[in-house]
Structure 1
């Protein structure tokens, strides 16, 4: 069915209340049909006793069943929510998930935090244990319904969602869902939370008048850059000796990748990436300076565009005399309780709006741009590439390091492949070039994200090669049995590559950072980070019908990667490489 776009990010379909099969139907049927009408193609679920009205609705669907979201079952809530996250990254459309009452929500909180920090418009729904103890269809009928009720179920996620509500009457279904989708989709986007009591889902919804359809859902546009602020910023960028645009997440809006690249090249502005979580600019950009800390000693004008943490003082910060601008949908990053990085100019704007406005303003200032600036920036970018190249291992020699693994992966992937990176794949070495082909662990660091997200991406884009690059600790967090089960059940062949050093590196690195000369470092204290002995991870994939292989020899790394990609792309089955890496 062809959708119709009625607002940013929303492709609606014909409303279900025009179909006689849904007149006077149960609220559960109207709920499913309204989700689909609002552009939600898939409902990722982990079900429980509260789902009975939905099970019946799917069974009774009749000719209306094509107007319901396709249900995708996952064996754990974190997997379901992670799949929804990955599907959004592929489609740009709001996604919906549903969990089992309070306990299901509790299992999914980590994934909801990830979605909140990355501004993912996710409609997070959960059953609510039946309100009534007796006397209505859907009332309590098992002892667990008393124990699972909470005084404030939504309180578990209220701090990180944009809106929460409880469906109170069958007649509210359409209005409540329309508000949920519109709030989730409005900038800055993010998840919302809706609880669904079982009795309400089982109620008969009032009939609607097909001659009086609801108006199309329209989502407010994002904020535009203030014209006066743009002029100030353009003056600074044009006249600077060493201007740099630093970004972390501008590429979340994929149209900005070409915009940023062209603006920097046309007007001789350097570009650097601070912990990039998206592909923000091609790795081959002639003025790509690498890490912002490499530019800080010389940069006299810095624009931090969609950078939630623009710098970490102990690792390097802008010069005190540098002009610093911060811009984005929320330049203060107001969702973070403390974040006090200085700035001389702040602009609330979408990245696309600012880059469009800057393009026009800089076009009027080309005569102000120092004529030698482009050559200087190109030289600095080449210096960065040479320094990075010098750190890479020689092919086929030495232990398997994370850098060696990343380099090998970059050589075997095609340009259209999508990589979900949970820690080890250095984007400077991976060198992705196309928008939407690289995603990093969300800012909140909720582990177990990459593999579920890769599965959701594969579901939304079945013709793409999808890779989950995870560490051994992150893989364990992902509920791997549930992930491989979902891959086999729904026909989602993704490649999982585990950089396995039998440790939680983040724990050790944090200890070295805080106590560089401490006893723990001298003694190699590892009781809180050592994960040995590890299971035979390759068998996890094999148990679900996939290809699995353990790699211990660097000479076998590239052949193993090609065998695994063949299993995924040609044989159509999931694959896992357990790569035993040096610490």
Structure 2
């Protein structure tokens, strides 16, 4: 399936659909620009929008479908997941300053993942009286901020306030075009209530502007990289996000087969190369850094941890991507002997053409395939070792059990325990990993958005108990019931924050935490709730598993529930 950001349709004028208010013109323009869903968490600032939807029986306006969400993190993360599912830019409407504040963590995830979302929010009414939409509740004074957009200005690519309805379509066009221009990302538009309530100006909207073509790699730089790859003994491409563009997956597959280049999916966030590809070198870059003489970093922010490992001194490191040095990161000093500004698909296509004109050792592909296949043996040994009848449930055991019941085309949204290596996805668009920013609470609502974008897919949210709690689970299960989203949620429940404890032990391997013999109070989550009850309270199936012998049957029952009954299911797995 091709995933593309939505392009404008032929109908370009709100006047063509008899919009009477700026709110109606705003909504019509969203639909005209291909925005089919508006994820909302409503407030008093929504009155003109509420009225616009109520008037549809009379106006017959074509407006985006409303997706009600009971928390702002759920709304923005669902929009994030929907974009991952169908490649179409999404829109969210938040409630003034307080709603924006609740959404900042989710916006952080979208920004670092370069996901285009039009974030809109009301703002406290501008006037105290004498205008339709002026302040009419006590809360309208306390909620106003001097700079509401300042909360997320560092994270968005653009922010603005709609000051007059005369240019509502121009502002929507500008917002969507900036969001979808590489490097993509969220944008933020505030909508005063008085402006939304105003009449539509008489001027017709102009046709939507053409979006800029994506960056194409410099031919001289491509030639230099092709020379390096052609002459290398052990060339490696390392990536986590190249597969965000489905076209790049087939291009990378062909490039590696034809010219003998290994690929590491380090910190995999998308399927960039099928796991069964002979030149797939696994999921840990450290395994190849000692041998790689040309390391091409393809759209990856942290290709190695500088304090733990580094490329060879005599290796050539090439950084490639829409923003190859990740300029929005305050510090990033990874080596770059050559940098190329490009999309993944554009670079891979240009490289294939350039390598066609060069001599490449025909035996290199087979030699590298034998050298990088070791991770497959490790995977097989782990899966075999974990196929035991009973005992405590480890994360490896949970992965092994899921590998047994997961259909090849099922989509995994991972926020904690799912192992890219053990699950070894082969189909593009079937694996989505935690965003680089790591804002907890993303995985479950992102899975809901993906399910909405792909209604026929089997979608699995693999989360830990901390990530599940941060996701506002009651709001997530409410959304599943309201919008008919049969997501399978698997919670690895170990009653602690492993990242907190683990980071402490890495810093202080022989410190008091390490020698104390217990879990730090700062890493404890117990006692954890009965997570299965959340699913049951909203009409889903809820199961709890305490022993390994129960795991397989529980996952099979849950899988049948989501695939055949089309009903949500949750399996609360008590892990060690």
TM-score for both structures, normalised by structure 1 = 0.95
C-alpha separation between the residues in 2 aligned to 1:500 and 1:240? Answer: 46
Distance 1:66 1:89 in 2: 28
- Is the contact between residue 241 and residue 272 of structure 2 (CA under 8 Å) also seen in structure 1? yes
Q: After the TM superposition, which of the residue ranges 264-273 and 126-135 deviates more from structure 2? A: 264-273
2:537 maps to 543
Alignment equivalent of 1:376, drawn from 359, 362, 367: 367
Q: How many residues align?
A: 570
Secondary structure, aligned partner of 1:278: coil
Instruction: Tell me if structure 1 keeps the 8 A contact 2:387–2:400.
Output: no
How big is the shift at 1:418?
Answer: 1.1
Question: 1:16 Cα deviation (Å)?
Answer: 4.6
- 1:575 corresponds, among 563, 569, 572, to 569
Deviation at 1:559, TM superposition (A): 1.4
Distance in 2 separating the partners of 1:538 and 1:135: 52
Equivalent residue, structure 1, for 2:520: 526
Deviations, residues 104-146 of structure 1 (Å, cap 9, x unaligned) = 0000000111110011110000000101000011000011000
1:162-241 equivalences under 5 Å are 162-209=157-204, 214-241=206-233
> Which residue does 1:399 correspond to in 2?
392
- The gaps in structure 2 that reach 5 residues or longer are none
User: Is 1:515–1:521's contact at 8 Å kept on the other side of the alignment?
Assistant: yes
SS in 2 for 1:528: helix
Q: Distance in 2 between matches of 1:578 and 1:567?
A: 15
Deviation for aligned residue 1:171: 1.2
Bigger shift: residues 515-524 or 347-356: 515-524
1:58 matched to 2:53: yes
Q: Is the 8 A contact 1:466 1:495 kept in 2?
A: yes
Corresponding residue for residue 128 of structure 1: 123
CA change 1:182–1:168 in 2 (3 A) is same
Deviates more, 1:186-195 or 1:56-65: 56-65
User: Is the contact between residue 493 and residue 573 of structure 1 (CA under 8 Å) also seen in structure 2?
Assistant: yes
SS in 2 for 1:447: coil
Deviations 1:429-474 (A, max 9, x none): 1111111111011100011001101111111111111111000000
Q: 1:436 aligns with which of 429, 432, 443?
A: 429
Matched, 1:17 2:14: yes
Partner Cα distance (2:531, 2:207) in 1: 52
Q: Distance in 1 between matches of 2:108 and 2:574?
A: 31
Alignment of 1:272-291 (within 5 A): 272-290=264-282, 291=284
**1:333 maps to which of 323, 326, 331:** 326
CA contact (8 A) 2:12 2:208 kept: no
Q: Is residue 8–residue 208 contact of structure 2 (8 Å, CA) maintained in 1? A: no
Structure 1 vs Structure 2 CA RMSD: 1.5
CA contact (8 A) 1:293 1:316 kept: yes
Query: Deviation string for 1:46-100 (max 9, x for gaps)?
Result: 0000001110111112355451001110000000111100111111111000110
d(CA) in 2 for partners of 1:11 and 1:89? 20
Match among 91, 99, 116 for residue 96 of structure 1 = 91
Change (3 A) 1:113 1:465: same
TM-score, structure 2 normalization: 0.97
Q: Distance in 2 between matches of 1:301 and 1:65?
A: 59
Among 102, 115, 136, which residue is 1:107 paired with?
102
Which residue of the partner structure matches residue 547 of structure 2?
553
**What is the Cα deviation at residue 388 of structure 1?**
3.4
State the Cα deviation string for residues 222-272 of structure 1 (Å, max 9, x = none).
Answer: 111111111111111111111111111111111111111111111111111
Q: 1:235 to 1:249 in 2, by over 3 A?
A: same
State the shift of 1:338 in Å.
0.2
Map of 1:267 onto structure 2: 259
1-structure distance, mates of 2:194, 2:236: 58
1:462 to 455, 458, 483: 455
Rounded to whole Å, the distance in 1 between the matches of 2:152 and 2:462 is 28
Q: Hey, what does 2:378 align to over in structure 1?
A: 387
Matched ranges for 1:346-357 at <5 A: 346-357=339-350
1:169-207 superposed Cα distances (whole Å, 9 cap, x missing partner): 111211110100111011111000000011111111112
Aligned partner of residue 456 in structure 2, secondary structure: coil
Alignment partners' CA distance in 2, 1:258 and 1:96: 30
Q: Distance between the aligned counterparts of 1:8 and 1:74, measured in 2?
A: 23
Secondary structure class of the residue paired with 1:579 = strand
Could you tell me whether the CA contact under 8 Å between 1:16 and 1:67 is conserved in 2? no
Q: Aligned partners of 2:108 and 2:296: how far apart in 1?
A: 27
Partner of 2:245 in structure 1? Answer: 253
Gaps of 5+ in 1: none
1:70 to 65, 83, 88: 65
What CA distance in whole angstroms lies between the structure 1 residues aligned with 2:254 and 2:98?
Answer: 49
